[in-house]
Structure 1
Amino acid sequence: MTQEVISTTKLIDFEGVSKTYQLGNQKVQALKGIDLTINSGDFMAIAGPSGSGKSTLLNLLALIDTPTNGQITYNDIDISTLSDNQKTMYRNKEIGIVFQNYNLIPVLDALENVAFALQVQGIPNHVCLSRAEKILKEVGLGTHLHHRPANLSGGQKQRVAIARALVTNPSVVIADEPTAALDSKTGMEILDLMKELNYTKHTTFIFSTHDNRIINSVQHVVQIEDGLLINQY
């Protein structure tokens, strides 16, 4: 399916963002003065070799970490002005995260795993389950609602993880190497699913990847190397 830019409304803005970690007696600068704008509806990859700063950038985008220097804004909100609780509330509502290793709760079935993302917001349980069932059907798991992670394939687990990320109707979904644990065929099916969801729901998708299949399928590529943004197209 041919992708088209849904919107040019600015969603996320990085201005001079740097991140330094203290490792023992040494300081390691993981990111160096990143300037980056991400628009609503974008389908984007952050590409670069291991150790380039991709994971650090992803953690900053997900509000899991904070910059050492510079400013990050979401929908014109300066994230540094938010308390930790406000950041958590914002992340739970506006940001969906798809982890490389799924991070599903083993004792919960697919429906319960997805509903849990809503339950932590205090939404009534019957609403959580109804919305979870709807999104699981949309990602092709309507017949696997009551399967636990141990009884799902890798591709099915990733679909549950995507459903969990989408059930809160977030502005952006951030996915860490979403095809890394999957075989080639299943990886392409997951990529096609996310492209379809980007197109139909206008959800912004941001991937950390070194998978050329993803890099060749997105609208926007940001290349990171040694903590520097070296190219974007």
Structure 2
Amino acid sequence: MSPVRPTRSAAASAQHGRVIPDATVARLPLYHRALSSWVDAGISTASSEELAAACGVSSAKLRKDLSHLGSYGTRGVGYDVRFLAYQIARELGLTQPWGVVIVGAGNLGQALVAYRGFASRGFEVVGLLDAHPDVIGQVLGSPEAPIAVGPMSALEPLVASGRAHIGVVATPAEAAQDVCDRLVSAGIRSILNFAPAVLTVPEAVEVRKVDLAVELQILAFHEQRRAEMQDPSMDPESLGEAIYA
């Protein structure tokens, strides 16, 4: 997952007397996920080395990241797992619920609304909207949290009610910008974009982009490099021909 534009987390944190780099903000969810799993497992303390290993970062980077939040570790003891998890959750804004409205009830939208991980992390899908008459009214989602697909006309009232805080674009690329514009016009200031398109938004709006095809292409790049290292005589073009044969 990568930001479409630089985030303003540093500026926002500066309002609270400290600056947290964007790279640190991007790693905080990893720390929180590991800590939360340890809380569930009954683990009370952990060293920086243990937490760093669980998150795939160096202990030095972990300690530097956490230093931006405050001093929560004890020399020779480590971190209080539950307390640190709470502090990171508070910094990420996870100590309050956030309403999510998903636009696009196709295969991706249906998969997202059925994902049970949202609720466990404090996110509630409060709306699933689509412009296609054939899907409006269909009940989707999990058995525990079914949701009926609503028309696009329901977007503005939903946002105005204060229930929706984050918008998710799960439409084809050609519809993404129009949907984004409508979300912004309705008052949404945080958008997660799954469409293969670059969205243009005002300065005050944050956009995060998830492009699975791009991630696969990056993995393909590394696979090709590994193949070339194992067989230096291999021609990249011949590898491509083998793939597309």
TM-score bucket of the superposed structures, by smaller chain: 0.3 to 0.5
Greater share of residues in helix: 2
Give the TM-score taking structure 1 as reference length: 0.33
Q: Which has the higher contact order (CA 8 A, sep 6+)?
A: 1
Greater share of residues in strand: 1
Give the TM-score taking structure 2 as reference length: 0.32
Q: Which has the larger radius of gyration?
A: 2
